[in-house]
């Protein structure tokens, strides 16, 4: 039983490593933690396209908030 759990854990790690490499090749800007959250959300039924749109909007909002900060420095 322990070896099956270990094999499963190794498979999950390998899958996440491959997904992270694909993410980097596509220049998504997602780190391992963010990618892991996105995968879990998709596994729970969240629409990947909608999730992508939300991430893009959050990035735009973040850049907008940083813009005035950059002008004052």
Q: Tens digit of pLDDT for each residue in 29-57? A: 999 999 999 999 999 999 999 999 999 99
Please state, in angstroms and as integers, the Cα–Cα distance from residue 66 to each residue in 16, 27, 38, 57, 61, following that order.
31, 21, 24, 14, 9
> Torsions phi, psi of 24, nearest 5?
-70, -40
Mean pLDDT of 6-29: 95
**What per-residue confidence (pLDDT) applies to 68?**
75
CA 71 – CA 7 distance, rounded (Å): 52
Instruction: Find, among 68, 12, 57, the residue nearest to 35 by Cα.
Output: 12
pLDDT above 80 for 70: no
């Amino acid at each position: 039983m322990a070896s099956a759990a270990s094999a499963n854990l190794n498979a999950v790690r390998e899958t996440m490593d491959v997904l992270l490499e694909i993410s980097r090749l596509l220049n998504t800007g997602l780190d391992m933690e963010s990618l892991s959250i996105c995968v879990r959300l998709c596994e729970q039924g969240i629409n990947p396209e909608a999730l992508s749109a939300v991430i893009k909007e959050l990035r735009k909002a973040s850049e907008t908030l940083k813009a005035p900060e950059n002008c004052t420095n």
